[in-house]
Each structure stands twice: as C-alpha cells, then as structure tokens.
Structure 1
C-alpha cells in the first residue's frame, strides 16, 4: 500500500487543531477573511486524500461564492489516465488535481499544468520542506503545491532487536548489515527486512547515497545507474540479498507481511513516514514494541535522508476556474484549512507544522510513547536535494516489477542487470513518447 493507494495518516502523532491554527496563516486570500470576489464558481477537485474534504466547510464559509466538489477519481493511475483523456477530449477537465510527486513532470513538461507563478507562490516556498518544494518545481517553475509527504524512516521492532542482542537501532548501513546477521541467527523466519522488488525502496537507498540516476532538462532525459552513489547503494543491497539476509518471499502489504510484523520475525521496515499510521492496524500485537529512527547512514555521523511517497496538487492548464482553484489549493495546503487536515491526520511538509512544539513533543502510545513527530520532522528536513524523476516515471515504475520479479523468485541475475534492462526500456519508451532520452 503506497501513498497513492490510500491516504496515510499520522493521527496519533499530530498536533491539536487549535495549536496549529496560529502557525498556519491564511496566505493569499484563502484565510478566514479571504473573499472570492463577486463571481460565483464551482470547482471540481480530484483527490484520493480524504483529508482534503475536511477543509471544504471552512473554505466555503470564508468564500461563499465558491462551491467545492471533491471527487475521488480512483487510484493515482486511474486518475492520471482520466485526466489525460479529459484533456484530449477538451471536456470534463477538473480544476484541481492530486499528483504524486513523480507524476508532476509528466503533466508539467508537455504544458498540461498551469504555472502557479502567476499566483505568487514563490512567497510560500519558505514554509515547505526544501525537497518537497523541489519536487513540484520543474525547470524553475512551480506547477503544484506540496500537500503530504513521506520522508524515509526506519521502523524497527525494539523487542526483536533486544532479543538478538542489539541495544540500539543501527545508525549506519554497516551496523545494519551486522544487525541483519544477528537477527537471522534467531531463526529461519527472522529477517531484518523484506524485499520483493520495491523500486521506491531501492531508489530511496540510491537517493540517500548521493546517486542521481535521472537528470531532466526540459524534454531531455539522461538515465545512468553507474554513478558512484547508485553503484554503492545497489552493491550494498545486492550483498544483503546474496547472503540471504532479506526475506524475498513476503510481499509488502500482504497477510504474510502483517503476520511477520505482528510476531516480530520482520524486525525493520525502511519506508515513508506514512507507515506510522497503517502499522498499528496491521501489527496490533506489536504495540509498544515498534519505534521510529532516521534511515541508517552511509557514513557515521552523517544526517542525510530520502523520500518515499508524497503528493501535491496542481491546476490543469485547461481548467475553467483557475483563480478559484488556487484559492482553495492555498487554503488547504498552506492557509487556514491546513490545521483541519493535520487534525484529521495528514502528514504535511509545512515547516510551520513540523517545527511546532506540540507536534514534536506528543508521545505516541503504539510506539512505546516515543515522540514520533520529532523523528519524522527531522527526517523530512534532511532529505537530500537534487533528486529528479523522468517525466514518464509513472510508466517506468509499472514495468520495473516485471523486470525484477525473475531475480527475486529465482535468484538469477543481479540488481545492476535489472537496472540496465530498465534503463534500456525507459530510453526506448521515452524516445517513442517524444522525449530525447539517453
């Protein structure tokens, strides 16, 4: 279950609504006194994030001339396809659309999204995690506002680590490797992690290691999985797999995955911060055992992170009510409606929230009364800069699993070979779509 499939909540670690109201001002006309002028408008918002609807009553009360209809257009892939079809047909185009960060270039580069610069979004930049703002900035222009975020963090079962004689969560990947051997020594079913070909996890390792395999300049895309950072991350994970230290039989989000998390045989998961919400319902028997830590580092003493998931909202270039759409966008993603979403459980990349004392100091019962908010806030702020996705990554991620599956089921081949196959397929597809890919 990725962020695109179900809204990820952090209800147990969130700041009370009143505590946040003071730190998230109204911004550009979306606050309590932000009128909508005399012209009436009805805007349609496509979103799979259930917290967006929480902001509608407050917005409409402050802007009685604007009616907001929030529509769940299906999964992210269904939504993107429907939007493309509507744009091509010239009718039924919504006014505001939710996008995973990697999908923004797909719509922005061909001119399918409006440049939000005309609405003065530059003044909002300082309130967002830099990496999240970078995700919505294409060729120097901002095409969406960040709405939720998934900083990579390591979720670990402290009880299992203690059973294996590990006093502290691994702070480096070298320590992670040593911990993996100790955990697997507990029994054949015990593993430090599972992996059956999760491209987002592998990319988060590469991202943190300094690899930047995708370089995008307009319609020009260069793909290279041989740079030092990428090579280091891939070689490390290959070693973990080759030595049988990773469970390659359990698929994420499956019943077996739930059982392994519940009984402690799966000791850690390095995923987006949104796992904080779904872990309690998937592993209720492990309540009090799990904790959250930053990703292990490649060098002792470093603090560099990566991201895994997250989404934003943009305005289609063909939208009919752009000004009204931006009013609502600013309201729920930055202005007066932000507090209602956070109170409903959204994990947002707004510094006004992440730096809030109430957010950082609230203990989380499931995680042994750990102050999870402080860990995830730090994880959000240390995400490495300069990461890019190719404009056709929505297609690219869909085929990676097909390429990787034989390796995980037979053990034949290597991750480096899979990535090279993936690169060749991406080059072919990208060029077919009109991009200049090398």
Structure 2
C-alpha cells in the first residue's frame, strides 16, 4: 500500500504504551475481558482501519456508527450527554464544532494521553483547529486547504494560458470567460458562507475572536472589508453565476460541460469532482488560491474534521488507542489509500503523495499543490463556539438577497452578526 513504510516508521516512533490512571476511562481489555467502543463517524475511510486495529488489539472491538452528518450528530451527542446514556466513545467533529463541545467541558482534554508529541506531524492550521484555550480536545483526521479547481480547456478557450496568480488577474479572467457566452462563468455563488469566510481569512480578516466564554464579532476589519468589496464587485458586474447551487444536478452539469470554469473549495474536492464531472476528465487542474498581492503565498481553509473523546465516554483509553491508530498508526495508510486527505506532514511531504500524477487532472501532480496549500493557511483564525447554528442561519439570511438579485454582502453580514450576537448571548456566552 502507498505510504506504508513511512507510516509504519512513524507509528513505531510515536506509539508508546500509555500508563493511564483509572480517571482516563475504561481499560482496553486489561482485565482479560473484551471492550467494545462505539465510534460516531460519517467518514467512510475510518471504517477501513477497523480490521487492522482489531487484529492488533484483540481485546478491543470497534463499532463505527453513522449517527448523521454535522448538525444531526451534534444534536444526538448533546441528547446522549444530557440523558447520561448512549454516549459514544469517539466522535467526529467539523473543526468549527470542537469549541462548542470543548468549552462547556463536554470533551476530554487529550493532554492526558500525551498528544503534544503529535503536534509536529500536523500542519499548523489543523493543530490550531483542535486547540481550545491552550488545550487539545481532538486529533485532526482530514483537512480542507482552499484551492482553485479550474477547467484548463475552458480557460484556454478564453485565451487564458495560466491560472490567475492574483485576484486582479482572476477578475480579468472572469471577464474573458464571461465573454465566451451567456452560460459561461468563472465561478458560482448562491450564498456559500465557507467560501466567503475563506476569502476573508486569506485577506487577513479575523472577524471572530474567542476568549473563553467571550466572543467578539467584527466585519469592519481592513482584511474583511477588502475581501467583501472584491466579491461584491464580482457579483455586481454579473461575473458570477448566482443561479446554480453547489452540489446540485445543475452544478454537476456545468462542471461537466465546462461552462462553470472554476471552483474554489477545500482540497477534499479532489475525491468527489471525478464523480460529479466525469466528462471533464483530463481538463481540470488544481492551483493555489489567487493572492491579494503578487508574490505572496497565503491561504485559507474550507472544511475538515477531527475526532474527540466525550468527557462522559466509558472507554477513553481504548477510544484513544483507536484514534491514534487511524490518525498516526498503520490505519492511516488504509485511509489515505481510500481517498482521505489528511493534514499529516508525514503524508503531505512524502514523495509518494507529491509525485503521483493523477489522470483525471491531466496527469498533474496535484498532491504537491495541495500540500503547499495546507502549509500556507493563515494563522489566528477562530470560529465562535456556536458556529454550527450560525452557518445554518446564514443561508436563511442570504437567500432573499441572492433570489432578488439585489445582493449586498455588507447587509447580509450585518444581519448575520446581529442574529449571532442575540443567539450567543441567549446560550450563555458573552457576545458583542
């Protein structure tokens, strides 16, 4: 299997036998009995690691359950914690959801398992995402560095030989692509908060500041204003398709026929794009996000997830053994082989990952591009601990603007801020 030699070497160096006290949870079969742990995950690659783990740990059985993605899973976990029963031993979280469970003490501090030794095997952005108030509450399992996926054939048809290196070049490219015909656009947007935030993130804006229970929301910083103004110009000049929603059949169709020329999303799009746009095989390429200043190399992130252990979990020690196995042990290679995009530097910096030519992307070595995108993610970004609610309400606020065609990002963000302040304070946070 790919990466097996490197991953096994890393595992040999980083997997000591933990001498944990009883406060760390149930034993991993240490009393001669069998321990069964329950893992909640919507990531199918995690299940690939179970057979190898159980073979190496005969005293532990692993049941992987899809308790629903995102909001559904978080609600189920909250209900189980409140009921005092049915709490899983290991749970998948999007990065922005980690603070929601960590701050009120619903997640175990993984410091007791010596997780600091893993810090150097993660890109800085992913490690920051699982660190709350100086403590680590989860281990990253996949990552979404923002990158530009573009149809080189459509770009060439518009007279564009190279992907735009700056946002000014992107703007000029958008006009050339729009000139190809009524259906041609450089990108689409129907109110994607993650894209807009990645634009702000890269520009240096940090609209959310979290200090314990205190949250400040501010969309007037220079970087934020610059990013919002740029995208507002793109929308105002009709250079963006505001009728087609991402993940829809129309989105697939336009990616297939080349009328939607690019998409800026997380690196995880490499795994789903071939299925959504099979007719465009060989046409797509991957590039870094355009930069605000020529010569800069600054990025952002869009998505990604990690696994944490609930404070009320019964078998913490066994849960951590499995967590370690599929994020750093032999189970990591099986997940990478299955398509997981992981933030481990041992993987991203390997020749196997960086030198592989991918047929769908015109034999481009996309691993090298995405590895660089992972390394240049701007630091200091934070999400408010109630962001799961906030992102769901953003769509409700933005939708009328996009539907009417009178789009004002400033008004959308201001309304969103007011709703977030109200909600956050109602939930017991100090939000301003």
Out of 85, 92, 100, the position equivalent to 2:94 is 100
TM-score (norm 2): 0.95
Aligned residue for 1:388, secondary structure, equals: coil
Q: Determine if the alignment matches structure 1 residue 24 to structure 2 residue 10.
A: yes
Q: Please list, as runs of the form range in 1=range in 2, the aligned pairs for 1:29-178 lying within 5 A after superposition.
A: 29=16, 36=28, 38-39=30-31, 40-178=34-172
1:347-375 deviation line (CA, Å, top 9, x unaligned): 10000000000110000000000001110
What is aligned with 1:207?
201
1:24, 1:195 → 2: CA distance?
42
Q: Determine if the alignment matches structure 1 residue 310 to structure 2 residue 296.
A: no
Contact 2:309 2:316 in 1 (8 A): yes
1:233, 1:157 → 2: CA distance?
24
1:254, 1:104 → 2: CA distance?
29
Aligned residue for 2:361, secondary structure, equals: coil
The CA deviation at 1:21 is: 3.3
Unaligned runs of 5+ residues in structure 1 are 1-14
2:29, 2:294 → 1: CA distance?
56
Unaligned runs of 5+ residues in structure 2 are 19-26
Out of 152, 168, 173, the position equivalent to 1:179 is 173
Q: Determine if the alignment matches structure 1 residue 324 to structure 2 residue 318.
A: yes
1:387-427 deviation line (CA, Å, top 9, x unaligned): 00000000000000010011111122510111010000000
Aligned residue for 2:225, secondary structure, equals: helix
The CA deviation at 1:24 is: 3.3
Out of 273, 282, 287, the position equivalent to 2:281 is 287
Aligned residue for 2:80, secondary structure, equals: helix
Please report the RMSD computed on the Cα atoms of aligned residues, expressed in angstroms: 1.4
Contact 2:146 2:300 in 1 (8 A): yes
* Inter-CA distance 74–37: structure 2 relative to 1 (3 Å threshold): closer
Q: Determine if the alignment matches structure 1 residue 296 to structure 2 residue 282.
A: no
1:124-148 deviation line (CA, Å, top 9, x unaligned): 1000010000000000000000000
Aligned residue for 2:63, secondary structure, equals: strand
Q: Determine if the alignment matches structure 1 residue 225 to structure 2 residue 219.
A: yes
Contact 1:28 1:327 in 2 (8 A): no
2:9, 2:235 → 1: CA distance?
46
Contact 1:149 1:311 in 2 (8 A): yes
* Inter-CA distance 47–29: structure 2 relative to 1 (3 Å threshold): farther
Contact 2:40 2:91 in 1 (8 A): yes
What is aligned with 1:240?
234
1:144-188 deviation line (CA, Å, top 9, x unaligned): 000000110000000111111111000000000000000000111
Q: Determine if the alignment matches structure 1 residue 374 to structure 2 residue 365.
A: no
Out of 268, 285, 301, the position equivalent to 2:262 is 268
What is aligned with 1:353?
347
1:77-127 deviation line (CA, Å, top 9, x unaligned): 111000000000000000000000000001001110000001000111000
1:132, 1:423 → 2: CA distance?
26
1:420, 1:183 → 2: CA distance?
32
Contact 2:29 2:35 in 1 (8 A): no
TM-score (norm 1): 0.94
1:329, 1:73 → 2: CA distance?
18
1:206, 1:30 → 2: CA distance?
43
Which is further off, 209-218 or 61-70?
A: 61-70
